[in-house]
Structure 1
Amino acid sequence: MKAILPLACLSLLALPLAACGGKGDDKLAERVEDAADNRADSLEAMADNLQERAERTRDVGEQRADAIDAADVNAQSMSPERKADIVANEAAAVR
């Protein structure tokens, strides 16, 4: 029911606009809508690409963490700088 109310309001607002015509504004309005759709499609594609990149980043981080665990690295003997360097190199490797 809640979804129907906004749709009905939009229909009522669009009705007077639909009655107008003959001034060529329909084609202009269609072009504006098409351009907005194209921009939205582009943004969605970029979002999909970012999602895939985020998943790859997580996978690579997990694989590298597993490799460090498997190598049985003695992290207690490392300096804080060395640990930070390993983490920074991990972040750079994923990009």
Structure 2
Amino acid sequence: MKKLIYIFMALFSLSLMTTSCREQKSTGDKVEEAVDKASDAVEDVADDVSDEVEDLVDDNK
């Protein structure tokens, strides 16, 4: 009986240590992250367009 209790306690302790707690993001955090990603994408496209325009201007000189 004593061994059974020790085994149960060991398994319970092991299960507590291996269970992970994930941090949940709020809706506001998700929206902010999406806006940041969209902003970064727009900046990247604007930089690409600017580079292409500069290349075209240099080719026409």
Q: Give the alignment's TM-score, normalised by structure 2.
A: 0.59
Aligned pairs for 1:1-95 within 5 A: 37-72=26-61
Paired-residue identity, %:
16
What is the total number of aligned residue pairs between the two structures?
38
Q: Superposition RMSD on alpha carbons, in Å?
A: 1.5
Moved over 2 A (4+): none
Structure number, greater radius of gyration: 2
Could you report, residue by residue, the CA deviation over 1:12-69 in whole angstroms, capped at 9, with x for unpaired residues?
xxxxxxxxxxxxxxxxxxxxxx7x7100000000000000000001000000000000
Q: Give the alignment's TM-score, normalised by structure 1.
A: 0.38
Task: List gaps (5 residues or longer) in structure 1.
Answer: 1-33, 73-95
Task: List gaps (5 residues or longer) in structure 2.
Answer: 1-23
**SS, match of residue 26 in structure 2:** helix
